[in-house]
Chain A
Amino acid sequence: MIAFVVIAVIVLAAASVAMCLRNLVHSVLLLVGCWAGIAAFYLWAGAEFVAFAQLLVYVGAVSMLSLFAVLLTRRSFHDLDIAPESVTRATWALLTAGAVAGVLVGTILGSPLGKVADSAPPVSVRQLGEELAGPQVAGLLVVGVILTVALLGGVVIAAQDKEGKQ
């Protein structure tokens, strides 16, 4: 339980600070910490496979992608800081997010969730593989297609025309 509390504090703190910083590179780096914390949570909960997927996809890939996007969309070397936000919108955002958090936490605490299981259901990677290649194969194929299309789409959207029109 102590491990869970530590993980939760790290995840939430990293996420909140990352979302408030003005330097985008720092934000992304803190988010890497947050994602790693989430992976740690998965490990703690007994879902090792998901934890490694989280590490690979988020800590490895999405963070790099975000860093590249940050670096590609600045005009000069010193342009990493972004302008402060409008106070009105920030206030509204805080109020809205606070209301959503309140409603969610309220309902979670108010729900009778019954007895919890004592241990994680045992799942081996082999079982996962058999599920993915057997009953879930349609889903797997669809995900494959989505990733391919997203890749092509990303290239097409971000590609520059030869004449430099866009």
Chain B
Amino acid sequence: MAREVGDPVALDMKTQSTNAFMSGGYALPWAFSPEHDSWKSTLQDFVASRIAPGAAQRTIDERFDPDLALAVGELGAYGLLVPTEYGGQGADLRSLCLATEETAVYDSSMAVTIHVQAISLALLAHLGKDHPDLLLETLPKAVTGEVFISFGLTEPTGGTDAGHIETRAIKQGGDWIINGSKQFITNSGTPFSKYVILFAATGEASGGRSPISAFLVPLDAEGVTVGPLYRKLGWRASDTHPLFFNDVRVPNAALLGEEGRGYAEALRFLTWARLPISAMSAGLVRGCLLDIDRFISERRSFGKPLGDHQAVAFQAAEVAALGSLARVMTYDGAWKYDHGHPIQQEAATAKLLSAEAANKAAYIATGLLGGYGFMEESAATRHYQDARILTIGEGTPEVQKMLIARLLGMGRRL
């Protein structure tokens, strides 16, 4: 925002709270370098001035904003985990978690847009590492946001049983012919959406399930149909569509990684992807706390500010504690990943607890705002809508508990 002569300096978000916890969340000095701090500060300034102002209206209108998406690309958020030789930032997981966390303080729709693009690009770089020409052709423009690459796994009959894939790719000469459909595919219908990393069954089933391969499929290939925009409860300003594949022909060069190993390799590689979702939960909780703080500071009842009533202040304190939990769990896992430690337990635990914390925080926030917490223009209402998917996407609580139980050595049959 331009400032005219004599006007006070625009401090954007920083003017909203002088409380370090409110503006930055539970402090974790051990987890971050000075460069992480600079990145967080840039993100906060960007979110406050570019993302926050229109977040409510975009959500109400279910409107994905292409200009905003491009501005996020200029900042460098999409390619954080892409190697520098492909135009990426070559950054660590904490940097991506900071991006999704700070964005979700105001706009979970944009946060998931970043998340999906970032994990898709990282996965493409990983699965396609034997195809440098393909990566050089696709990744540099995807890093800037000029090209979106979506992640096509979920099917109408899939869900938690993601390995049950009915989309099939059959080899024909030197090409693959793909038939099937995918649903709930984020970033697949934007003006920048050019590719989908598609998971399809290839070959014959052995032991009950067909091997699953990954392909990079252009969305403008003949036979690909991008279905209509989903009307969603939350993440309403993100772009989500079904995809249909009818005799889609792609060359063998579109096969990512080893034939029949794409799904297994993607699952193994993407263990960390639960942590940026956990970070979104932490950001959403802070967004709830900011809206609570604004409301209970301004609103008076029985002759004093709402926040001076212990029954209210205790609920705000609980939201703060939930946010602390989500933040600690997120960055504990991300720090360990960045330092080469295994994170299966950390990722599942963080995702489980943070997503549930976000739902509880949003429930408290909407309650504290009373009638305003039921109005669509209210931030608390938006957070309430956006919180629900956090316990569903990237694995339900039951999936996380199953993973944790396995790591405890319980129930190999789970």
The answer to whether A and B interact is no
